[in-house]
Amino acid sequence: MATRSRATFAKRQREIARQERARDKAAKRVERTETRVKLDRTSDDPDLAGIVPGPQERLYDLPEEVKKEAEEEAEEEAK
């Protein structure tokens, strides 16, 4: 029967180095999130003044009165 060999010193050193790199990466990740520049979403840009988030009203929809007038004109032309 074969006996299990002990973990080698080099293997243990590689594992320690891997854990240290993981800790460094996690620390950098936290630092980036803390120092991230927050954008000011409320601007005084006149081009964006009337825009509201969400679905917008269609520009090509006609008011009901104009639609009725157009239908009546189409009926008169058909006669």
SS (H, E, C) 7-76: CCHHHHHHHHHHHHHHHHHHHHHHHHHHHCCCCCCCCCCHHHCCCCCCCCCCCCCCCHHHHHHHHHHHHH
Higher pLDDT, 78 or 42: 78
What are the tens digits of pLDDT across the range 1-60? 566 667 788 899 999 999 999 999 999 999 999 988 776 666 677 777 777 788 877 777
Q: What ranges do the domains of the chain cover?
A: 9-35
